[in-house]
Structure 1
Amino acid sequence: MACWSDLASDVLEHITSFPHLPDHHRVSAVCRNWRWVVKQRCFRPAPEFPWLVLGEDDNTKKRKFYNLSEKKHYSIDIPELYGRYISSSSYGWLFAVDTKITGITINPFTREFYELPPFPPYNEYVYDNTASGITINPMQTQILHKAVLSHDPRKRSDFTVMIMFGGPIEVAIWRPGDTTWTRVKFDGTMFDVICFKDNSML
């Protein structure tokens, strides 16, 4: 009888294209060869409902997730997310920000991640009792409203990250290799940003 752990990589890749995400973790636990194939895969698991990202466990620091398909909670140890809050997700990658106003984009299941530069400072408008009704907050606090990817980083290395931040809202972009964010100039009010057919739309 043939040994299951000796199956060819292309056969395993075909097999692992069918299970849902929880089963990918069970497949990766079979043996070293199966775990390597799952980790190196460049395709998505079978379609399913999105997972909800919850907070950290106070004791273990593991990140809690909720699988809508199974109606089940999962706790996954992802050290890169310790002390960070999740602002948004794109192509299955999470955008996590810490108190130092730096962030990462990370695939929570393969643990691949990219360090992002500190987010650009901005002046936040706040209401007060002056005649104008608006003043500038000198503290320059940070608010990351949304972040999107132009492509899945596992499939294309020339991807772009676009963020909405601040109040009033501003937009900035980053590409691998950049050391800072590039602010995007535009006129008018911006409500959302998406990537459509390789183009970013405001």
Structure 2
Amino acid sequence: MAQSAHAYWCCYGLDNLAGLDFQYRMNRIQMQLVEQSAKARTKTPAPLPTVERASTTAAREMAQAYPAAQREQAARTFETLLAKYREIEDRFGIRRGDIGGALAAFIAGNLMAMRQQPFPDAHFAALVRQMREAVASDPAYRRLDPMELRRSYEQLAIVGMFMAATQMALAQQPDDGL
């Protein structure tokens, strides 16, 4: 990650998101979306239930991928990103713990980073619905323990917000080194 992005986050070393492996989940969802594209949906499935945890632990778990000296700062950054995601939930009327919403934030944030442009608010609600449908139709998600589902929800929301915020920071202060 570029120096200007580091300055925005006020910490160094947060470019090591390689410890997070979402590729498998993303590939499964992409394949299901392709398979379902021919089917017309008339009913939006209910969000999968997750368990509220007394304290958010995904941020601390994710921070373990960083050098020991940077873990506390990384955990605080991730906790801040999760809190900012809750503002997105409020803004778009997404129920807390809705894995479809978190997955939509993950996809939107990564699209923002890939395209180096904002994700249109007008498209976000539709993306949330698509992700709810994809998750609801995948039996593997139904078999997940509610605590694991909550952990996935938090990780997806954090990474999505991280990517979106980094793209916005770089849009304000471009880095020619990228």
| Same fold by TM-score greater than 0.5 | no
Higher relative contact order (CA 8 A, sep 6+): 2
Tell me the TM-score range normalised by the shorter chain.
Answer: under 0.3
Name the structure where strand makes up a greater proportion of residues.
1
Considering only CA atoms, is the larger Rg found in Structure 1 or Structure 2? Answer: 1
Name the structure where helix makes up a greater proportion of residues.
2
